[in-house]
A and B are shown apart, each in its own frame.
Chain A
Amino acid sequence: MGLLSDPNRRKAITSLTLSVLPDVVCYLAGIAWFMGLAFEPFTLRTYMSENAMGSTMVEERFPSGERALATAREFAAHKKKVGGMPVDWLVKTMRAQGLEVFTQSFSRNLPFPDESKERFVVRGTNVYGILRAPRAPRTEALVLSAPCSPGNSNNQAVGLLLGLAQYFRSQIYWAKDIIFLVNEHDLIGVQAWLEGYHHTNITGMGYTPLQGRAGSIQAALSLELNSDVVTSLDLVLEGLNGQLPNLDLANLFHAFCQKLGILCTIQGKLQRSDWDTVEGYTHSAQTMLLMVLKQASGRPWGEHGLFLRYHIEAASIRGVNSFRQYKTDATSIGRLFEGMVRKLNNLLERLHQSYFFYLMPSLTRFVSIGYYMPAFGLLTTILLLRALDLWVHLGTPTPVTEDGVGEGESPSSPGLLSVLTPVVISHLTGVALYTLPVLSQEMAVEHFPVSETEAVVLTAIAIYTAGLALPHNTHRLISGEGTEQGWRVLKLVALLYLAVLLGCTALINFSLGFILAVTLVPAAACVTPHVPKALSAVAMVLLSPGCTILYCVFLFQELQEVPVSLAEGWMLFLSVISQGILDHALYGSLVYPLLALLVYPCWLLFWNILFWK
């Protein structure tokens, strides 16, 4: 640390770090780097890394797409008759196909009603059939799942699943057991099944233990189909907490789409070939930004998302029926699945050869972790430069010449308490934000004319806003007048805290880390008690984590080409908050606790500095 402790050397670096120029350059370079990732010449082409899936193209022979659709209609009729999942019919059908069939019932009380899906107390049954591979010792398995959704949706998926089961049963080449899972209540059902299969209980789900197992699951594919014919298939990769499956799974899907001539999309966007035009670039930038936003949300964007926690490579494939001319029938989709499952069946090892951390500006292009991390690195450099600057300032004796008055009393010791107090208070506010909304919903419903869900969301927003008022008053109560040194130390701590926090977040979920860095870093870098109060307070609030979510909601709608008005956007924002809290309770998504317990208190520290007296 000679560099930092030697006063002469310090002076040299002070001259560099004191200026704002490197900060601005870093920030702009970071953003530019990130946006450059969507430019095709800067990205890599995807390629199949896994040897076992590469060269051995097989002929797909799945013949019975029509029959699968007939099964789907039968399933729909039974579903209507029962008014939910036709468990008995499914068991009978699967058993007739020669599978070992088991059921699992589960129940889950949501912490507060889910208004978007209209459920509060969930009870359901999963049905799964295991195709035992001949001469295999039940050590490995693949999962094909389809949800039994309410209403008229996803019947074709179940039909195709059963059709595939029947066809697969008569084949001899299976080396891994194949589990055909039809789950009720979409993700909750999958969560119950996975917890049952792995005999864990992380979310407080009530379920009956599974009777049949098939060893360690190597990969899973989830199928969502709503119509007899589709125009394209959409691949969904983003899973819980921003986890992604191995890139080879995406490559496999793309390879079979190419082979069978099926239109395939990612984020609902087709690939364009004109990368050198502005439209082409915008298109891939939109695709990539959509992926970043979805990943940052930390939600499972399909049933596959929950498998990833268990180290099971999984992806959802969603049939899209738009008004294009080009149609694909169920037989082709069946063949696509047959091909993919056969390739996965050929795997000798778990998928591990290709990337786990990537962004996809299109289905054939990817940005690996080595390419996107510098963008984030440039942003965090600002925090480190600022911290360095503060450290240098704190080390040099107070320049008495400047103001004459200087800081009379003990300039070198700001006191541990004056730093610790805001830190503790901010975090307590964070804890309140994390716990109170769900806990106090009953009270809120009693006293205000709102539903439980609204109560939770509004309490969260209320605590969030109340936090703005609290901490900058309290520190004075405890340790009297704040000193010039005091805010410097506090800011130094806060800067390092934020850098570590964002760094760790970005390692796990790059998108979330990056989005937070884009808004938090400028606020953190600029804030001092000496800037104009009103203007900077507005800027700080606009750059706070809560507003970041709001911008993301609008941006997401814009990118999906369904722009919303301000009022609609606000409603969406509210539902996003309630969904975030629900995702945390139901599936263990970590975005809500991360924001409430760490990011928000960290931002409050900077807010505190702004109002330092």
Chain B
Amino acid sequence: MAALSRKWDPLFVLVLGSLVFSCKGDVLKTSNDRTESISATKIEESSPQAADLGDLRQSDEAESNEDRKAFTPPPPNDQFQEEMVIRPLYSGDIYASFQFRTQWDTDFLHDGKKVSHYRLFPKSLGQVLSKFSVRELHISFTQGYWRTMQWGQPFIPSPPGAELWVWFHHTVTDVDGNWKELTNVLSGIFCASLNFIDSTNTVEPSASFKPLGLGNATDHRFLRYATLPREIVCTENLTPWKKLLPCGSKAGLAVLMKSEKLFHSSFHSQAVHIRPVCKDWQCTSTAWELRQTLNVVFDLYTSGQGKKEWSLFKMFSRTLTEACPLASSSKIYVDVTDNPGGELFDLSPSSPLISTAVVLGDRRTYSVYDLTKKETFGQLRSLNLLLRWKGESDDMLRPPLHAERYVSGFGLQKGEIHTCLYNSHPYRAYPVLLLDSLPWYLRLYVHTLTVTSKTRENKPSYIHYQPSKDRLRPHLLEMLVQLPPHSVTEVTVQFERALLKWTEYTPDPNHGFYIGSSVISALVPSIVAMDTNSTRDRPLFSSFFPTKEESSYFMRVYTEPLLVNLPTPDFSMPYNVICLTCTVVAVGYGSFYNLLTRTFQVDEPSAPLAKRLANIIRRLRGVPLL
């Protein structure tokens, strides 16, 4: 501790030293000893309390770092963290996941007061939260489909296209009105077609989407969920997303986000999650947490030119030179679990910091690079992580839970949607929640709904079905299904394709209509709990009953969206008909109108003078007139 204080600026010691030392000295000590161990909860899917503890530690560090860099000290509680996880995947691809976390200490929902002071938290979002009384907001834009079988599980799953789900505060009276306005505002903020969210694709799931933040709201009247599977994500969505970051893309990890590289990848997903969290472990006061995540998977084949070699520069065409000055922590984690002896790949520069954590039910080991430390950047003053593959490991993965969906049958009248849920756990059965939201133009035959696993009927213990209304609302089907161990459970339902009105077709009707992904939420038994070796380094008395945190973890899986062709008229026919009828009507109407309105009279023209004279003479002579 003494060494620490000597290194630091005397100013810091004077101003804040006493505070830091008195409350959180142990944290600082461990980080100084370079054997930092982070808790499992700090990386992902944290329970609010635990996360909050971590936050508090971080906040102290933030103050100290920023003071050291002689920035104006922030109000004591707003804070910003950035981190990136790089995971070499089994398929040889590489997965980079950015997370930026901004915490904002304000509580406008409870007091109803207007908040006008913004520092790190983006004002545009803050105003949206307060105007529409949003409790929790989750929005994701994804281009591509996460290949669970090759890539394992993502840190934050998201369906292809855009997904938005919002919990409103329970004081809101007109939830639908707020939702409509909110989607339009968000559409503007993110330059996305979220304004296409309307009542025909919005559902209120009863069980699948629970609040992730504080408060145990259960009344799903205040929840709205919608997906736009057709939404295409590109640079124009990335730019406004980057602008929400305190440092923008000027400093810190965000400098890596060059769009031409991010979109030269196999998978791209960006998301914004806002939720209320506790500020301290007793939860006496709350704060808003804004998490911005960006997940990219780079393809080995298309960008690596066959060479199995990766570096930050190759991935992002940038190297890192500094952390975001506003960030209280700025770290890069590289997953080295599968590479304990360095036989799979080489990582350079190597980092002495190693941390282990239980992530998604698996114990992972990470090399940590702390960007707030000067020595991370080495002599070149830039960090360019280099990863050179040596071994080959490209087997298919067996993730504990994955799902696929397809439409069976042919022809344009009927079809059947098959959803296959795979439980590959060797001996544990577990329940999953399946959420399906299907547009009204697929007329579901609910009596054909079958759930079968291992060729036997599997009766769901909970079914929530809301039938669709034509042109008003979609079908909503939620089911709690028990998946037997090591099995495939198949959920099938037949449908009939509706014939739309001709103005309801999209401009490209022959492309087909998109059906959003189904959502599968489950508490999956974790791999750690299966691992018998893990009991060795733990006392025996601690390991008889599996503890909840370690035995299972929450997982959400999205199936692929579907493209369904509806019976489509030949749109050149109306064109012909319109042309023909217009011609016929023009000609026919013209002549009829002419006939009807014109009056016909026999017109007797007065004979010319010469003729009249001749007639007079003829009459006199008694000769017939002319």
Q: Shortest beta-carbon distance, A62 to chain B, in Å?
A: 16
Q: Are A215 and B560 also in contact (CB < 8 A) when A170-B301, A170-B302 are?
A: yes
Do the beta carbons of B265 and A134 come within 8 Å of each other? yes
Q: Shortest beta-carbon distance, B362 to chain A, in Å?
A: 23
Q: Which of B252-307 contact A (CB under 8 A)?
A: 263-268, 299-303, 305-306
In angstroms, Cα B299 to Cα A170, docked, is 9
Q: State whether the Cβ of A171 lies closer than 8 Å to any Cβ in chain B.
A: yes
Do the beta carbons of B301 and A139 come within 8 Å of each other? no
User: Given the complex, which residues of B lie within 8 Å of A200, measured CB to CB?
Assistant: 408-410
In angstroms, Cα B404 to Cα A199, docked, is 14
Q: Are A135 and B508 also in contact (CB < 8 A) when A199-B408, A213-B406, A216-B407 are?
A: no
Q: State whether the Cβ of B34 lies closer than 8 Å to any Cβ in chain A.
A: no
User: Given the complex, which residues of A lie within 8 Å of B470, measured CB to CB?
Assistant: none
In angstroms, Cα B267 to Cα A198, docked, is 27
Interface residue tally on B, bucketed by range: 35 or more
Do the beta carbons of A349 and B267 come within 8 Å of each other? no
Do the beta carbons of B565 and A134 come within 8 Å of each other? no
Number of A-B contacts (CB under 8 A): 90
Q: State whether the Cβ of B486 lies closer than 8 Å to any Cβ in chain A.
A: no
Do the beta carbons of A198 and B408 come within 8 Å of each other? yes
In angstroms, Cα B407 to Cα A140, docked, is 12
Q: Are A169 and B512 also in contact (CB < 8 A) when A134-B265, A215-B563 are?
A: no
In angstroms, Cα B409 to Cα A140, docked, is 16
User: Given the complex, which residues of A lie within 8 Å of B264, measured CB to CB?
Assistant: 172
Do the beta carbons of B562 and A135 come within 8 Å of each other? no
Do the beta carbons of A138 and B145 come within 8 Å of each other? yes
Chain B proximity mask over A125-159: 1 for CB below 8 Å, otherwise 0: 00000001011111110000000000000000000
In angstroms, Cα B145 to Cα A134, docked, is 9
Q: Are A171 and B416 also in contact (CB < 8 A) when A137-B229, A348-B511 are?
A: no
Q: Shortest beta-carbon distance, B475 to chain A, in Å?
A: 20
Do the beta carbons of A134 and B144 come within 8 Å of each other? yes
User: Given the complex, which residues of A lie within 8 Å of B564, measured CB to CB?
Assistant: 216
CB nearest to B395 among chain A residues: A95
Q: Which of A100, A215, A348 contacts B562 (CB 8 A)?
A: A215
In angstroms, Cα B406 to Cα A309, docked, is 18
Q: Which of B145, B408, B418, B565 contacts A137 (CB 8 A)?
A: B145
Do the beta carbons of A136 and B144 come within 8 Å of each other? yes
Q: State whether the Cβ of B243 lies closer than 8 Å to any Cβ in chain A.
A: no
CB nearest to B268 among chain A residues: A135
User: Given the complex, which residues of B lie within 8 Å of A352, measured CB to CB?
Assistant: 510, 568
Q: Shortest beta-carbon distance, A314 to chain B, in Å?
A: 14
Q: Are A135 and B143 also in contact (CB < 8 A) when A199-B408, A350-B510 are?
A: yes
Most buried by A among B303, B508, B511: B511
Q: State whether the Cβ of B394 lies closer than 8 Å to any Cβ in chain A.
A: yes
Q: State whether the Cβ of A529 lies closer than 8 Å to any Cβ in chain B.
A: no
CB nearest to A174 among chain B residues: B302
Q: Shortest beta-carbon distance, A193 to chain B, in Å?
A: 14
Q: Which of B300, B305, B411, B514 contacts A139 (CB 8 A)?
A: B514
Q: Shortest beta-carbon distance, B146 to chain A, in Å?
A: 10
Q: State whether the Cβ of A98 lies closer than 8 Å to any Cβ in chain B.
A: yes
Q: State whether the Cβ of A89 lies closer than 8 Å to any Cβ in chain B.
A: no
Q: State whether the Cβ of A120 lies closer than 8 Å to any Cβ in chain B.
A: no
Do the beta carbons of A171 and B302 come within 8 Å of each other? yes
Q: State whether the Cβ of B439 lies closer than 8 Å to any Cβ in chain A.
A: no
Q: State whether the Cβ of B161 lies closer than 8 Å to any Cβ in chain A.
A: yes
Q: Shortest beta-carbon distance, B592 to chain A, in Å?
A: 26
CB nearest to A98 among chain B residues: B301
Q: State whether the Cβ of B147 lies closer than 8 Å to any Cβ in chain A.
A: yes
Do the beta carbons of B511 and A350 come within 8 Å of each other? yes
Do the beta carbons of A100 and B144 come within 8 Å of each other? no
Do the beta carbons of B150 and A199 come within 8 Å of each other? no
Q: State whether the Cβ of B160 lies closer than 8 Å to any Cβ in chain A.
A: yes
User: Given the complex, which residues of A lie within 8 Å of B416, measured CB to CB?
Assistant: 199
In angstroms, Cα B563 to Cα A213, docked, is 13
Q: Which of B559-603 contact A (CB under 8 A)?
A: 560-565, 568
Do the beta carbons of B560 and A139 come within 8 Å of each other? yes
Q: Which of B266, B408, B510 contacts A132 (CB 8 A)?
A: B266
A residues at B contact (CB < 8 Å): 95, 98, 100, 132, 134-140, 169-172, 198-200, 213, 215-216, 309-311, 348-350, 352
Q: What 17 new A-B contacts, CB under 8 Å, besides A135-B266, A215-B562, A350-B511?
A: A100-B150, A134-B265, A134-B266, A134-B302, A137-B561, A139-B512, A169-B301, A198-B408, A198-B409, A199-B406, A200-B409, A215-B563, A216-B512, A216-B564, A348-B508, A349-B508, A350-B565
Which 6 A-B pairs rank lowest in CB-CB distance, beginning with the nearest? A199-B408, A137-B160, A349-B510, A135-B144, A139-B563, A138-B560
| 10 A-B pairs in the complex with CB atoms less than 8 angstroms apart | A98-B300, A132-B147, A135-B144, A135-B267, A169-B302, A200-B408, A200-B410, A216-B407, A216-B562, A311-B565
